[in-house]
Every structure is written in structure tokens, then in C-alpha cells.
Amino acid sequence: MPKGCRMTKGHDGLIVETFATLKACAPRFVTLRNFDLIPYGCSCSADIDVLVEPSAISAVKAALISLGYRYHPGDQSSLYLYNAKPHHHFMNQEMDVQFDIVQMLCYRSLDEGQFIPANEKLQSWMFERRIQVEKPWVYQPSAEDEVVHLCGHAIFDKRFVSNRYAARMEYLVGQCSREKLLEGLTLLLFRFSGQALRLLLERQAEQMYQRYLTFSDY
């Protein structure tokens, strides 16, 4: 168990049951990242992010509340542009588990942090190319889609590429179709996509945020 992980009776069981419930009420869903922390490390301070289709949100909300989660709406102080949708937070403090249900792939802008939807193809591919696994989280993105998502999450949401994310992206690159990966990076990062791919291949992913900030060939 990772250092600092807080475990309580029923923690693992609740996570497994939650994913089984999601599979029943939201057939098209995908767990976005940090799979190796499930179930260990998935506490209220390390939420589990799951993408579902907007049409399933009502059913998911009712189902998770029935499992004992408290519902918290997304950040109402942030700006959501171009029909971006806020996250839905579900927390069970007793079991120390939190799920963030995402109905749209959105990333923060680098100016005032507004939420902006990613290209619709990136979300479609998340569902169409997802991989079913014999793990608690059931579905995960393809290698290409996970790398693109981690790039967006690190650059726009975190404004920092952690050692953990860099290592994960560099590992996944070896499993990617170069053509599919570049296509996804281009939809997210436009002309910076070529440089992003080089950084990944050269195992310098931790430099991606700073390189993106200083990129000028738009």
C-alpha cells in the first residue's frame, strides 16, 4: 500500500461495487487515469475520474447516492465556456472514496483558467477505442488516448508535468500507433503536437509544459 494511503473497512469493496454500478447504468464509460492507484491510494484526496455520456448523468447520480455517496456539484466559481460541463463529485467520507464523474472532456485555459471543451473527436475516441480489462475500473483508454489526455491534463489543468505523468506517458508511447497518437495530439495541441511527440519519444515529457509556454510557431 502506498505511503500515506488511508484505508478503512469496505474501501476496496465500495470501489468495486461503484464500477459495477457504473457499468449497469452507464454502459459507455471510461476511467480516465491513475489506474494503478485503484483501489490503493484512491482516497478522498485522490479522486477517481470517470468519463460518462451526458445522457447517463441522472442515472449515475441516483445510483451513486444509493450506494452512500454524498453529491457535490462542480466548481460553480469557474467559468465554463462553449457549453463546457462541470464535474459531478461523489464522496463517501466514511469509506474514504471519491469519484469525479465527467460528462465532457474539458481542459482549463492558460489565461484565466476557464473550462473549454476539447475537440469532440477526442471524446468520441475515448469511448470507441476504450479497452476492457479484468480490473476494478473495467474500462480504460487506449494507449494513444491516454497519452493525449495526460498531456492535456498536465499542461492545462495542472500546469506541471509530474514525474509520475511523464513516466506513464513515456511508457505508453511504446504501445502507441505513431499515426493515431500524432492525430490526437494535433487535435489538442495544434502545431505544438510535433514537438510534444518528440519530447515523448526522447523521454523528456517533464519539459512539455515549459516548452508549450515558450512555443511561438503558431
| Direct distance between the N- and C-terminal alpha carbons of the chain, in angstroms, rounded to an integer | 45
Place of cell 483558467: 113
d(CA 97, CA 40): 10
Residue 61 CB neighbours (<10 A): 16
Which distant-in-sequence residues (6+ apart) come within 8 Å of 182 by Cβ? 193, 194, 197
Nearest to 87 by CA among 75, 78, 96, 77: 75
89 phi/psi in degrees, rounded to 5:
-100, 135
Please state the φ and ψ torsions of residue 90, each to the nearest 5 degrees. Answer: -130, 120
d(CA 150, CA 120): 17
- Residue 216's pLDDT is what? 77
Per-residue confidence (pLDDT) for residue 46, from 0 to 100: 64
pLDDT reported for residue 43: 52
Which residue, among 96, 92, 99, 135, has the nearest Cα to 7 in the 3D structure?
A: 96
Instruction: State residue 152 phi and psi, 5-degree precision.
Output: -65, -45
CA–CA distances in Å: residue 35 to residues 73, 141, 168? 24, 10, 11
Q: Which residues contact 211 (CB under 8 A, 6 or more apart)?
A: 192, 195, 196, 199
What local confidence, expressed as pLDDT, does residue 3 receive?
37
Q: What does the CA dihedral 22, 25, 29, 31 come to, rounded to 10 degrees? A: -10
Instruction: Give the model's pLDDT for residue 27.
Output: 85
Q: In Å, what is the CA distance from 141 to each residue of 108, 109, 172, 197, 206? A: 21, 23, 11, 18, 21
How far apart CA 155 and CA 118 sit, in angstroms, is 13
Alpha carbon 181 to chain centroid, angstroms: 17
* Amino acid occupying residue 201: L
pLDDT at position 10, please? 80
Where the chain has pLDDT below 50, the residues are: 1-9, 44-45
